[in-house]
Amino acid sequence: MTKNGYHSAGRLAELQKDGVMPGSTTERMLHPDEARAIVMAHAVPLTPEIVTLVAAGDRILAEALVADISLPTFPAATMDGYAVIHDDPASSRLILGSGFAGDAATVTVTPGSAAKIMTGAPVPDGADAVVPVERTASIDGRVEIQQSSVRIGENIRPIGADLRAGEMLIPAGARIGPAELGLLASLGHAGVRVGRAPRVAVLSTGNELVDPGELPGPGQIRDSNRFSLALAARRAGAEVIQTARLADDEAVLRAAIERAIADADVVLTSGGVSMGDKDLVKLILDEMATVHFRRLFMKPGKPLTFATVSRGPREVLLFGLPGNPVSCLVGFHMFVRPALRALQSAPPDRDATVSVTIDRDVAPSDRIEYQRAIVSVSPDGTLVARNTGSQMSARLMSFIGSNAFLVVPPGDSPHPAGSRLEAILVDPPRPLTEDA
């Protein structure tokens, strides 16, 4: 593939054999890899923002975190006990005082003395070891050490044991989890620079749609895409700023899309992008946006439009997803999710594509097919996959329990059980069980 996202002449010849015709990207079915490259070329990271630690959880770090101090900043006791000089020959030592976590050390330990100390407290000057309290006996202000020898540094966490100034701790692009958040707090960061969460508008279209609480009339169905897409976008780190269900009315659709473009970084529509007389979204996007592709050499999700609109210094990404619920979600995972991650400055998913052994025959289609599947880890470490049954594009049940998409190349002959295929992981593999 060339750097502008188009296949070389040789690769185009291969795609022609698969039914992907040459020509402009809006005239032919694109290979999913080519389409994804086009999307990612437009998914330019948004300007980072600084947020408080309270709001930083699960956000994407926009710059590497480098330690500006060493931790701990003082030698600290790791046990409750007595701070001593490790090679002090005295059998009984004078207790100089007590040190607690949060206190500053106020005494100096000299030969023949010791200081009582609690876990986390600074080790006083002069001391170079801490003897646990259960290995001592104290009476009348003195303490006897009851272990045969004491090692220098015993039960002391030295300066810089956790991290040293100048050390790179978390790379840019990492998601901030509980440990990362705690590290930021321990280094004194009241705020942190993160990738801005893309603002997303979700619009379901179609006269056949009714809200979930309504009883469908003849020819009607309940709208599911609006809710599935909104949650999928949030899980990808986006801020969903609006959702709406819209009828197949050109003026209404146009006004709604224009409002969404004005407020959002990414606009997701479902329905209205195929070849029917009421597929108005496709026509509207042709007029108001730059359309980059309309059809994909994949199943499900062949009719999928990607377009962009310039709004001042920013470019709004528009995805016209298919109306069928499964096609809609497959299109989201293949193209929208990577774009949302890139907008937040997140790196591409690592190890997302794996090689798996299929446990049953898998029939191919005339296009690349993304079958919903369950990928499990066998006792010997092999990844095993099975699809979730019927893969019809309206059957949302095929997603339930799945954690991957099985990538099935086009062809005429089934892929036999035991052969290897690629799978795209959505969630981690699970242990293999008899009913997996």
Q: 323-372 pLDDT, tens per residue? A: 999 999 999 999 999 999 999 999 887 658 999 999 999 999 999 999 99
Q: Are residues 277 and 204 in the same domain?
A: yes
Secondary structure (DSSP) of 8-61:
PHHHHHHHHHTT---S-TTTSEEPHHHHHHHHHHH-PPPPPEEEEHHHHTTPBB
**pLDDT at site 219:** 86
Q: Are residues 106 and 125 in the same domain?
A: yes
Q: Are residues 323 and 228 in the same domain?
A: yes
Tell me how far apart the alpha carbons of residues 250 and 289 are, in angstroms, rounded to a whole number.
16
299 beta partners: 369
Q: Are residues 358 and 226 in the same domain?
A: no
- Per-residue pLDDT tens over the stretch 165-200: 889 989 999 999 999 999 999 888 999 999 999 999
Cβ proximity of 110 and 136 under 8 Å: no
Q: Where does a domain end: 300, 319, 343?
A: 343
Q: Are residues 277 and 324 in the same domain?
A: yes
Beta carbons within 10 angstroms of residue 107's beta carbon? 18
Q: What would the mean pLDDT of 97-109 be, rounded to a whole number?
A: 81
Would 111 be classed as within a structural domain?
yes
Q: What would the mean pLDDT of 11-32 be, rounded to a whole number?
A: 63
Q: Are residues 388 and 422 in the same domain?
A: yes
Would 10 be classed as within a structural domain?
no
Q: What is the CATH number of the domain that holds 266?
A: 3.40.980.10
Which pLDDT band, with edges at 50, 70 and 90, does 401 fall under?
Answer: confident
Tell me how far apart the alpha carbons of residues 316 and 142 are, in angstroms, rounded to a whole number.
75
Which whole-number Å values give the CA distances from 66 to 54, 170, 359, in the listed order?
A: 20, 7, 47
391: left (phi over 0), alpha (psi -120 to 50) or beta: alpha
Would 14 be classed as within a structural domain?
no
Which pLDDT band, with edges at 50, 70 and 90, does 273 fall under?
Answer: confident
Q: Are residues 325 and 229 in the same domain?
A: yes
First to last CA, the chain: 38
Residues 6+ apart with CB under 8 A from 148: none
Q: Which domain holds residue 112?
A: 76-157
Which pLDDT band, with edges at 50, 70 and 90, does 49 fall under?
Answer: very high
Q: What is the CATH number of the domain that holds 416?
A: 2.40.340.10
Q: What would the mean pLDDT of 240-252 be, rounded to a whole number?
A: 94
Q: What is the CATH number of the domain that holds 55?
A: 3.90.105.10
**pLDDT at site 28:** 86
- Per-residue pLDDT tens over the stretch 282-330: 889 999 999 999 999 999 999 999 999 998 888 999 999 999 999 999 9
**pLDDT at site 5:** 32
How many distinct structural domains can be found in the chain? Answer: 4
Would 53 be classed as within a structural domain?
yes
Q: Which of 109, 116, 106, 183 is nearest to 143 (CA)?
A: 116
State the Cα angle at 231 between 291 and 302, rounded to 5°.
35
Q: Where does a domain end: 105, 128, 157?
A: 157
Which pLDDT band, with edges at 50, 70 and 90, does 389 fall under?
Answer: confident
Q: Which of 306, 261, 298, 253 is nearest to 393 (CA)?
A: 298
Q: What would the mean pLDDT of 137-163 be, rounded to a whole number?
A: 93
Q: Are residues 364 and 403 in the same domain?
A: yes
Which pLDDT band, with edges at 50, 70 and 90, does 403 fall under?
Answer: very high
Cβ proximity of 354 and 428 under 8 Å: no
* Paired tokens of 370: 């993304």
Which whole-number Å values give the CA distances from 43 to 211, 216, 316, 317, in the listed order?
A: 32, 38, 9, 8
**pLDDT at site 400:** 87
Q: Are residues 203 and 262 in the same domain?
A: yes
Cβ proximity of 413 and 396 under 8 Å: no
Would 182 be classed as within a structural domain?
yes
Would 102 be classed as within a structural domain?
yes
Tell me how far apart the alpha carbons of residues 306 and 290 are, in angstroms, rounded to a whole number.
9
Q: Are residues 172 and 127 in the same domain?
A: no
Q: Are residues 220 and 336 in the same domain?
A: yes
Q: Where does a domain end: 343, 376, 407?
A: 343
Would 9 be classed as within a structural domain?
no
Would 71 be classed as within a structural domain?
no
Indicate if the pLDDT at residue 231 is higher than 70.
yes
Q: Are residues 244 and 321 in the same domain?
A: yes
**pLDDT at site 16:** 43
**pLDDT at site 115:** 94
Q: What is the CATH number of the domain that holds 107?
A: 2.170.190.11
Which pLDDT band, with edges at 50, 70 and 90, does 6 fall under?
Answer: very low
- The whole-chain average pLDDT of the chain stands at 89
For the ranges 1-10, 277-286, 389-398, the one whose mean pLDDT is highest: 277-286
Tell me how far apart the alpha carbons of residues 65 and 225 are, in angstroms, rounded to a whole number.
38
141 beta partners: none
Q: What would the mean pLDDT of 112-126 be, rounded to a whole number?
A: 94
